[in-house]
Chain A
């Protein structure tokens, strides 16, 4: 029973990191029709920045989370403003462009931070164990779950309950009409892109508590985020959340029960969804 409870919480906490990593990607894909393959690199960049703030300069962990998000957000915004904007209506070229940035950002990270991976780090205040029904459980993971929930609520509120969210959803359905109503969709798109990149950077620091930071994260996280999008459905916060939690649980329980298939569980889930419901668990259309 304890093993099950531990796996459950581990799966959910891991799933929250996946949600944080994938939510930005999913929303940008659904809202702006841009597949930002550099999303994983932005996650990694945030993680490196967070490490510098928290470990190299020894400052507050939450400051590190914020700054990690901020730097990634700004870099993401730069990519959008200077490059992607000029490729409007050319989705293939946009995707290719972002792929090029994966290489650029990854190599710049190696140049700045060196090839050595960074071990997982967190706030010293979170380093203990909490007793949950007699089972000692690390506080960092509980905090990750809490953060995931908070971010999910905030994003969902933005998406469903604010004017901005309504504009985004309208733009997703019919861009021309929305612009025809006099709404500055471009400004809103900029904001969405920045926010998505910001969340990716935040995810990088939050996830670093579990996984540390290394130079292959750019591609590793991209793959995971893509699977989250495929499984959960693109374009919505709830889609990313359902995808993230599902994959987190499947991966954790899979590794625990069938260790020899450790690498496959995620892919299996993806292939099953593609065959059964290609638009994803909470996806809107194929």
Chain B
């Protein structure tokens, strides 16, 4: 739908041009499962808005980042230079954030994270970090492990790249700030075909926390851990791509009973979430994991921001408008700090077997309004 030509004032001519929203998602590589999920979430939000906001059409441009920082940067450059986008949802991986942020700041494009964000990008003032930074997301879980689960000592096994290093460090800090002690930290390289050397190096502690880069490594690790006969309880981060419905099905019984931190569970009992779950089930046939939710909420954030600016997607107008938003999302309440970091709730969940199906449990515990401890206090 376009405006009739005879209404031509300069403002109308501008309004006739669609707002381009870019998205860098991963359809190939270790997290290839997640690309279509994010896309489904983003598309649902845009569909609900009729692909229009403030009288302007919305055009969604989706590119495959291939889980490769160089590809993500290339795609971003193309969208910024050639397609002239001012909004980009994604990419997923922390190192891609770090690579793209300086360029995005130069080109005045607002970018969002997908699962969490890198604290170092805050200084560029164009990065929306949602649901929060990598470390802050798991900090409460570290506290939970000490205070509520009663563990006093911990060993961490974290895949050796930005995302999981951040998770692990967040848990460690939360655990130690609460009074616990991390005895040993192992860092298997990404894509390690064999975890047995690392498993055999694990010393004794009250609990072993692991954070690995996808359902494949997670299953390999748990499998080899159990094969080695180790008895210490396991905890992990139960979100991202590790605990999608498909991943839970492949993991099967070995994932049961392992508690973890997650930013979302489809079983959250609020009307807005139930409506969302129903819509995603209708669209994709499966219940949502945090991927669909994050895509959906981020797109909605952009839409609300654009509504507030009257359809102006330039950075100078849109960025402050987004920072002022306060919304209810399927995941919980959402607002932003002045630096662009989202303030959200986080939950503890686990894998469950319900009626023969493997699902993510409802929240076992909720931490409200987490906020990265490094940000200046309000």
Q: Does B270 contact A (CB under 8 A)?
A: no
Interface flags, A115-130, vs B, CB<8A=1, else 0: 1111110000000010
Which of B148-156, B191-199, B286-294 contacts the other chain? B191-199
Closest CB-CB distance, B98 to chain A, in whole Å?
A: 21
A119 contacts across to B, CB distance below 8 A: 215-216, 219-220, 250
Q: Does A279 contact B (CB under 8 A)?
A: no
Contact indicator A263/B200 (Cβ below 8 Å) = no
Closest CB-CB distance, B215 to chain A, in whole Å?
A: 7
Which of B191, B192, B229 meets A136, CB within 8 Å? B229
- Residues of A in contact (CB 8 Å), total 33
Which of A6, A115, A220 meets B228, CB within 8 Å? A6
Known contacts A115-B29, A212-B216; A259/B227 CB under 8 A: no
Q: Does B186 contact A (CB under 8 A)?
A: yes
Contact indicator A138/B227 (Cβ below 8 Å) = yes
Contact indicator B227/A117 (Cβ below 8 Å) = no
Known contacts A211-B193, A262-B188; A117/B200 CB under 8 A: no
Interface size class of chain B, counting residues whose CB lies under 8 Å from the partner chain = 20 to 34
Q: Does A51 contact B (CB under 8 A)?
A: no
Closest CB-CB distance, B244 to chain A, in whole Å?
A: 11
B229 contacts across to A, CB distance below 8 A: 136
Which of B28, B197, B220 meets A120, CB within 8 Å? B220
A136 contacts across to B, CB distance below 8 A: 227-229
Measured in the bound complex, the distance between the Cα atoms of B198 and A67 in whole Å is: 33
B197 contacts across to A, CB distance below 8 A: 7, 10, 252-256, 259, 262
Known contacts A115-B27, A116-B33, A117-B214; A10/B219 CB under 8 A: no
Closest CB-CB distance, A44 to chain B, in whole Å?
A: 13
Contact indicator A116/B32 (Cβ below 8 Å) = yes
Contact indicator A6/B200 (Cβ below 8 Å) = yes
Tell me the nearest residue of chain B to A128, going by C-beta: B227
Contact indicator A214/B196 (Cβ below 8 Å) = no
Q: Does B102 contact A (CB under 8 A)?
A: no
Q: Does B187 contact A (CB under 8 A)?
A: yes
Measured in the bound complex, the distance between the Cα atoms of B229 and A136 in whole Å is: 7
Q: Does B333 contact A (CB under 8 A)?
A: no
Contact indicator B30/A210 (Cβ below 8 Å) = no
B194 contacts across to A, CB distance below 8 A: 10, 14, 210-211, 252, 255
B186 contacts across to A, CB distance below 8 A: 259
Q: Does B10 contact A (CB under 8 A)?
A: no
A118 contacts across to B, CB distance below 8 A: 216
Q: Does B1 contact A (CB under 8 A)?
A: no
Q: Does B201 contact A (CB under 8 A)?
A: yes
Contact indicator A129/B227 (Cβ below 8 Å) = yes
Known contacts A255-B197, A259-B187; A115/B216 CB under 8 A: no
Contact indicator A115/B32 (Cβ below 8 Å) = yes
Q: Does A142 contact B (CB under 8 A)?
A: no
Measured in the bound complex, the distance between the Cα atoms of B223 and A191 in whole Å is: 39
Q: Does A110 contact B (CB under 8 A)?
A: yes
A36 contacts across to B, CB distance below 8 A: none
Contact indicator A212/B220 (Cβ below 8 Å) = yes
Interface flags, A28-64, vs B, CB<8A=1, else 0: 0000000000000000000000000000000000000
Interface flags, B195-228, vs A, CB<8A=1, else 0: 0111011000000000000111001100100011
Q: Does B189 contact A (CB under 8 A)?
A: yes
Closest CB-CB distance, B40 to chain A, in whole Å?
A: 16
Measured in the bound complex, the distance between the Cα atoms of B197 and A263 in whole Å is: 13
Measured in the bound complex, the distance between the Cα atoms of B187 and A253 in whole Å is: 16
A10 contacts across to B, CB distance below 8 A: 194, 196-197, 200
Q: Does A276 contact B (CB under 8 A)?
A: no
A100 contacts across to B, CB distance below 8 A: none
Known contacts A119-B220, A215-B28; A259/B198 CB under 8 A: yes
Tell me the nearest residue of chain A to B188, going by C-beta: A262
Q: Which residues of B contact A (CB under 8 A)?
A: 27-30, 32-33, 66, 186-189, 191-194, 196-198, 200-201, 214-216, 219-220, 223, 227-229, 250
7 new A-B contacts, CB < 8 A, other than A115-B27, A120-B223, A254-B197, are: A6-B196, A115-B29, A252-B194, A256-B198, A259-B198, A262-B188, A262-B189
A-B contact pairs, 14 of them (CB 8 A): A115-B32, A117-B32, A117-B216, A119-B250, A120-B219, A129-B227, A211-B193, A215-B28, A220-B191, A255-B198, A256-B200, A259-B198, A262-B197, A263-B189
